[in-house]
Chain A
Amino acid sequence: MKHEASASGEGGAAAAEPVLTPTMVAGIQAYFSRYPNRRAVILPAFHVVNEHLGFVPRQAVIEIAQLLELPPAEVYDTLSFYGLFKQDRPQGRVRVWVCRSISCAARGGEEILDYLCHRLGIRPGETTADGRVSLDYAECLGACDFAPAMLANDVLWKDLTKDKIDAFLETLAEEGESSPDAT
């Protein structure tokens, strides 16, 4: 009988190393006063952790639950709903979201995504081996006026062409980070 370990991760009751630093804890606690209860801090807490660690590991879920005085299952339930947060390993230094919704697709967005996959050598959902770039597809980035478009961390890359992708990859190679000037 092939049994499957819990989808939520490998078993193991050994106490893990804490992952929330005091800075992160303080960052999360700063949200407490905004809401009448702590449950509402769950999503902001994920963002805090994600910004620091590049992902939200299982141990963070448990620590957030402790901090918010909630059952860990409820915290994890919420986390898994949002595909945004990687759970297994940190995202790359640059996380690239290529829009695949209708306006971008109609202007060649899928081909742009394929080209990026080809150039980076990874598929959507994956990270390059050197940890530099994570690639994902996004659903409608709300940048249809600049279709096809992609977000690289906080920067919107507009009116993409293969040449622009090449230029983008060059800025990554140079600075290790996407530059706001490169649009």
Chain B
Amino acid sequence: MPTALIDGRELQFGEDERLNGIEAARRLGIEIPHYCWHPGLSVVGSCRMCLVEVGMRDPKTGQITMLPRLAPACNTPVRDGVVLVTDSEKVQRARAMVEEDLLLRHPIDCPICDKAGECRLQDYHFQYGQDQRRADIRPFTSRRRDVGDEITLFVDRCIMCSRCVRFCREISGTSELLVVHRGTHEEIDVLPQFPLKNKLSGNVVDLCPVGALCDKDFLYRQRVWYLKSHPGVCTGCAMGCSTWIDENQDRVWRIRPRENHLVNRWWICNDGRYDYPHVHSDQRLLCPRQRVGGRWIDRDWSGLVPELDERFRRAGRVGVVLSPFLTVEEAYLLATYARRVDPEAAVILGHLPVVGQDERFPGGFTIAAEKCPNRRGVEAIVARWMGRAAAWDVFLNELPSLGIRGLWVTGGYKRPWIEASVAERLAGLELLVVQDLFASPLSERADYVLPAAAFPERDGSYVNRHDHLQSVRWAIRPPRGVRPEGSVFWELLGRPGLYDAQKTLSDVAAEIGYFHVAAGPIPEVGVNLKVNLLA
């Protein structure tokens, strides 16, 4: 096996693997500092922070010959026999110089800069920088320049890594960000007639190693050291991009993409990135309500679940509408319950919101037209009991002939999803339970309205349109009065203790062939249900 020697330690890697110095060193837990390199973008080797000593080890004699000059690790292919030294005095001096260089004209903005706490310039200064200021500058604060609707630029903080420019050229393919002037006068800018305006624009903020490009949505709102990051999955469309949900005290402040080579790589679209305000909207349904004699009364959860159970049993012929916003586990639990109540209960896939067409970007990123995260997963649950895909529109048409008397409709829709004329068709049911985020024409006609959990409040799994399953745990507690679906359905089924999504998923995997490979613990990047399927 090819072997490299990094800081005296051996690293073996595959014959077909193409690693650069940074990637190889990482495998040994050695982090080579860098600004401009990014695995998703072309290599420019311009920041010069990743300089290391490079050499070769003679395979026969074992003798090591080092090259006299430093080389950037990002552009050093690691092949059999390559020797890297990342911690010598020469390397340290070079890093300290680069860091000092970047700070020479850097504004003294840390106290007012969003990036503080997650800023590479800060971090590398502490780890690798000079311990005294030697340069003669006048302290100043950065100019600010709007470059687009979502993004603002603090011009003077920029360290000219050019990641943002490369992103717009290579990934979004929209090429709005540009570099103006030459030498130390270089700045990032846009032509005023062509501002940064693409659906992937938010990614440049993640890419920016410093606080130059800032997200207007997040600007000045939270210090990052107060935020806790939870792995999540975007519920904006069927691509299921992996995310980090950054929250503080049960309030979501920011969503960032989480690196996942099997799904979204490093990116997320703006729709997903900014898809959390609804979580804290004051329009959210916040407590269970019951319509009694034409009037709405607030209920609390104590005793409510047994009451619902009793009423469903009394209804006899029942159905459940499983929203594509439910997790696999939640859908499974509710469907199981429905069939326990009524062995011929209708298990229906809820309304699928679709907007426009798929949007493909040159870098390979795609935004799906289907704006829900778990159609595949819920569909499989539906198919297991119905033997077919039973869709919402068809169900509405068949409803009069089905003789259903009790219906539980799950929602979790972020936008209005049902019109009054359609809701009217369900008005005649004896028992209608609607569990949703926001009031709707349907909830107005319900007998019970239950507040749904928003996506950061759920435990469970989603299956994206490529049959890739990812599991998440809740990131924030729901508002008081909201009980996540999983917890409600768990109690409905009479299971003891707290809702256990993992246990439920194991049950699902055992029971439904489609989920077979999801039996054990699910890795952070998820698992593909089709690819890993055994014959």
Contacts and interface: CB of A to CB of B under 8 A. Distances in A.
B178 A4 contact: no
Contacts of A62: 191, 193
Given A4-B155, A5-B192, A81 B144 contact: no
A72 B193 contact: yes
Nearest to B179: A77
Contacts of A12: 192-193
Interface stretch (B180-188, B296-304, B351-359, B514-522): B180-188
Given A5-B192, A6-B189, A61-B191, A71 B143 contact: no
Interface in A1-35: 1-13
B145 A6 contact: yes
B447 interface: no
B275 interface: no
Given A71-B174, A73-B175, A76-B178, A8 B146 contact: no
Nearest to B180: A80
B145 A7 contact: yes
Interface centre among A3, A5, A8, A10 (most CB of B within 10 A): A8
A74 interface: yes
Nearest to B173: A71
A16 B255 CA distance: 40
A5 to B, nearest CB: 7
B328 interface: no
A8 B192 contact: yes
Contacts of B180: 7-8, 76-77, 80
A10 to B, nearest CB: 7
Contact of B143 (A4, A74, A76, A82): A4
B147 interface: yes
Contact of B192 (A11, A74, A77, A80): A11
Contacts of A123: none
Given A6-B191, A7-B145, A83 B155 contact: no
A13 B195 CA distance: 11
A59 to B, nearest CB: 10
A13 to B, nearest CB: 6
A132 interface: no
Contact of B194 (A2, A3, A5, A72): A72
Contacts of B147: 6
B177 interface: yes
Contacts of B155: 4, 7
A10 B191 CA distance: 9
Contact of B190 (A10, A73, A83): A73
A9 B194 contact: no
Given A13-B193, A72-B193, A4 B145 contact: yes
Contact of A7 (B175, B176, B187): B187
B191 A58 contact: yes
Contact of B182 (A72, A76, A83): A83
B169 interface: yes
Given A1-B144, A71-B174, A74-B169, A6 B192 contact: yes
B144 A3 contact: yes
Interface in B101-152: 143-147
Interface in A105-127: none
Nearest to A6: B192
Given A7-B187, A73-B191, A80-B179, 7 more contacts: A2-B144, A4-B144, A8-B189, A58-B191, A73-B175, A76-B180, A76-B191
5 contacts: A6-B195, A7-B189, A73-B177, A74-B175, A80-B179
Interface of A: 1-13, 58, 61-62, 71-74, 76-77, 80-83
Q: Which 10 A-B pairs rank lowest in CB-CB distance, beginning with the nearest? A: A71-B175, A77-B178, A11-B192, A80-B180, A73-B178, A6-B192, A7-B189, A8-B189, A4-B145, A73-B175
